[in-house]
Amino acid sequence: DARVTQTPRDKVTEMGQEVTMRCQPILGHNTVFWYRQTMMQGLELLAYFRNRAPLDDSGMPKDRFSAEMPDATLATLKIQPSEPRDSAVYFCASGLNIESPIFGQGTRLTVV
Amino acid sequence: AQSVTQPDIHITVSEGASLELRCNYSYGATPYLFWYVQSPGQGLQLLLKYFSGDTLVQGIKGFEAEFKRSQSSFNLRKPSVHWSDAAEYFCAVGLTSGTYKYIFGTGTRLKVLA
């Protein structure tokens, strides 16, 4: 089965450190999404790309978060500097046009 | 503004009982509708989807959902719940305005009693 691969699965870091999360979308998919899941807010869309171009990153705190797709096989989400309130599970999902996105296993981030 | 509401945060049912999880959406156009399931520590897995056509859609694991345009609802059902169905369930709307954004509800956590 094709799957979306996210690394790392777990990350513990100190406040102020840079965090980079990576996502390998399914080959052939042209949309990539980054979601953040917390108990309080549920699933929040942070950013998404179509054909590697960012279409919407309005859900992302611009001062510390950045999302890129350097090539079709890699999407990255970076937080610099990280803060304790960034602790959450970050999901990447990929899809083909309007087809339902397929989710990765997530990266659990803990900022202490 | 587009939104998805899952009014039940927690639901508990006995194994073998029927299940219905509610989902209401707000969207000006015809939406694409989805149900996902999330087991602890896992990503979201697609259960079923509605794009058009028959308003009763069948999914995996014995689940089905019915789209009711007049009620802006897309409720998930299962006639007989198994203990392995305990998980969190998310309803989602795919916006059809060309942006391909998906908006998720806050989820319903299902507990199954043996």
Query: Which of A1, A36, A39, A43 best tests the B interface by mutation, with the highest count of B CBs <10 A?
Result: A43
Cα B56–B58–B64 angle (5° rounding)?
A: 75
Instruction: Say yes or no for a CB contact (<8 Å) between A98 and B107.
Output: no
Q: How confident is the model at residue B28 (pLDDT cuts 50, 70, 90)?
A: confident
Q: How far is CA A4 from CA B45, B99, B114, in A?
A: 12, 21, 34
**Alpha-carbon distance A18 to nearest alpha carbon in chain B (angstroms):** 24
Give the closest of A56, A100, A105 to B49, CB-based: A100
DSSP assignment of A39-72 equals TTTEEEEEEEEETTEEEE-TTS-TTTEEEEEEET
Q: Is the pLDDT of residue A25 over 70?
A: yes
The residue of chain B with its CA nearest to that of A40 is: B106
Q: Quick one: pLDDT at residue B18?
A: 97
**Residue labelled with tokens 């897309």:** B74
Cα dihedral sign, A1-A49-B98-A43: positive
* Average per-residue pLDDT for chain A: 93
A44 pairs with which residues across the strands?
A36
Residues of A in contact with B107 (CB under 8 A): 42-43
Q: Is the pLDDT of residue B12 over 90?
A: yes
Compute the distance between CA of residue A45 and CA of residue B78 in angstroms, rounded to an integer.
29
CB contact at 8 A, A50 and A40: no
Query: Which of B74, B89, B102 to mutate to test binding with chain A, by most A CBs within 10 Å of its CB?
Result: B102
Give contacts of B96 with chain A, Cβ < 8 Å: 98
What pLDDT sits at residue B53? 87
CB contact under 8 A, A98 and B106: no
| pLDDT, average across residues B23-49 | 91
- C-alpha to C-alpha distance for B41 and B87, rounded to whole angstroms: 10
Chain-centroid distance of CA A55 in Å reads: 14
- Single out the residue of B75, B15, B79, B95 nearest to residue A48, CA to CA: B95
Residue B98: per-residue pLDDT:
63
**A42 at interface of B, judged by CB pairs closer than 8 A:** yes
Per-residue pLDDT tens over the stretch B52-87:
888 999 999 999 999 999 999 999 999 999 999 999
